[in-house]
Amino acid sequence: MSLLKIFVACSFLATAIYFSFITKFIQIRKFKLSLRLVASNFRKRTKLKLMKEKGDISPFSALMINLGITGGMGNFAGVATALAVGGPGAIFWMWLVGFLGMPITYAEGFLGVKYRRTAENHTMSGGPMYYLRESLKNKYISRPLAITFAVCGLALTLFLLGNVLQSNSMALANSTQFNIPRYITALLLAVSVGIVIIGGVKRIGFFAERLVPILILLSILGTLSIIAGKFTQIPAAIILILKAAFSTQAMSGALLGTILLRAFGLAGSRVAGVAAVTQAAAKSPDPVYNGLIAMSGVFIALAINTLIALSVIMTSHLPPIPTTTVLALGNNSSFLPFGKFGIAFTTFVFGFIAIISWAYYGERCFEFIFGTKSIKFYRLFFIFLLFLGGMLKSNLIIVLWNLSELSIAALMLANIVGLIRLAKTVASTTQNYYQTGQFEELL
Query: What CATH code is carried by the domain that includes residue 91?
Result: 1.20.1740.10
Neighbours of 198 (CB within 10 A): 15
pLDDT of residue 335: 45
Per-residue pLDDT at 65 exceeds 70: yes
Per-residue pLDDT tens digits for 143-177 = 888 999 999 999 999 988 888 988 888 888 788 87
What's the domain count of the chain?
Answer: 1
Q: Dihedral (C-alpha) 428, 105, 17, 443: value to the nearest 10 degrees?
A: 60
Mean pLDDT calculated for residue range 338-349: 65
Beta bridge partners of 282: 57
Question: Does residue 442 belong to any structural domain of this protein?
Answer: no
H or E element: which one contains 212? helix 200-229
Contacts of 18 (CB under 8 A, 6+ apart): 420, 423
Q: Across 3-12, 58-67, 431-440, which has the greatest mean pLDDT?
A: 58-67
Greatest extent of the chain over all pairs of C-alpha atoms, in Å: 61
Neighbours of 371 (CB within 10 A): 12
Q: Across 72-81, 133-142, 388-397, 409-418, which has the greatest mean pLDDT?
A: 409-418
Q: How far apart are CA 364 and CA 422, in angstroms?
A: 21
Question: Does residue 190 belong to any structural domain of this protein?
Answer: yes
- In the chain, pLDDT over 70 holds for what percent of residues? 80
Look at the alpha carbons of 105, 108, 113, 119 in this order and tell me if their dihedral is positive or negative: negative
Q: How far apart are CA 429 and CA 431, in angstroms?
A: 5
CA angle 288, 290, 291 (to 5 degrees): 60
pLDDT of residue 93: 77
Question: Does residue 263 belong to any structural domain of this protein?
Answer: yes
Mean pLDDT calculated for residue range 88-116: 87
Residue type, 270: R
Per-residue pLDDT at 413 exceeds 80: yes
Q: Could you check whether the bond before residue 320 is cis, i.e. omega within 30 degrees of 0?
A: yes
pLDDT of residue 392: 84
pLDDT of residue 334: 47
Question: Does residue 38 belong to any structural domain of this protein?
Answer: yes
pLDDT band (50, 70, 90) for residue 371: confident
Q: Which of 54, 207, 204 is nearest to 123 (CA)?
A: 54
Distances 396 to 159, 233, 238 between C-alpha atoms, Å: 11, 43, 40
Per-residue pLDDT at 267 exceeds 60: no
Per-residue pLDDT at 27 exceeds 80: yes
Alpha helices per DSSP H over 371-395: 375-391
Q: How far apart are CA 266 and CA 75, in angstroms?
A: 7
State the residue range of the domain holding 418: 2-429
Q: In degrees rounded to 5, what are phi and psi of residue 437?
A: 70, 20
Question: Does residue 219 belong to any structural domain of this protein?
Answer: yes
Residue 11, Cα to own-chain centre: how many angstroms?
19
Q: How far apart are CA 263 and CA 310, in angstroms?
A: 21
- The rounded mean pLDDT for the chain is 80
pLDDT of residue 343: 62
pTM as predicted: 0.87
Q: How far apart are CA 73 and CA 346, in angstroms?
A: 10
Question: Does residue 169 belong to any structural domain of this protein?
Answer: yes
Q: How far apart are CA 386 and CA 164, in angstroms?
A: 5
pLDDT of residue 111: 94
Q: Can you count the helices (H) and strands (E) in the chain?
A: 21, 2
Q: How far apart are CA 325 and CA 194, in angstroms?
A: 36
Higher pLDDT among residues 203 and 394, named by residue: 203
Per-residue pLDDT at 251 exceeds 80: no
Question: Does residue 439 belong to any structural domain of this protein?
Answer: no
Question: Does residue 440 belong to any structural domain of this protein?
Answer: no
pLDDT of residue 386: 93
Q: Judge whether 65 and 352 are in contact, CB under 8 Å.
A: no
pLDDT band (50, 70, 90) for residue 110: very high
Per-residue pLDDT at 351 exceeds 50: yes
Per-residue pLDDT tens digits for 289-307 = 899 999 998 898 888 888 8
Mean pLDDT calculated for residue range 214-240: 83
pLDDT band (50, 70, 90) for residue 74: low
pLDDT of residue 81: 65
Per-residue pLDDT at 140 exceeds 90: no
Q: Judge whether 384 and 191 are in contact, CB under 8 Å.
A: no
pLDDT of residue 78: 64
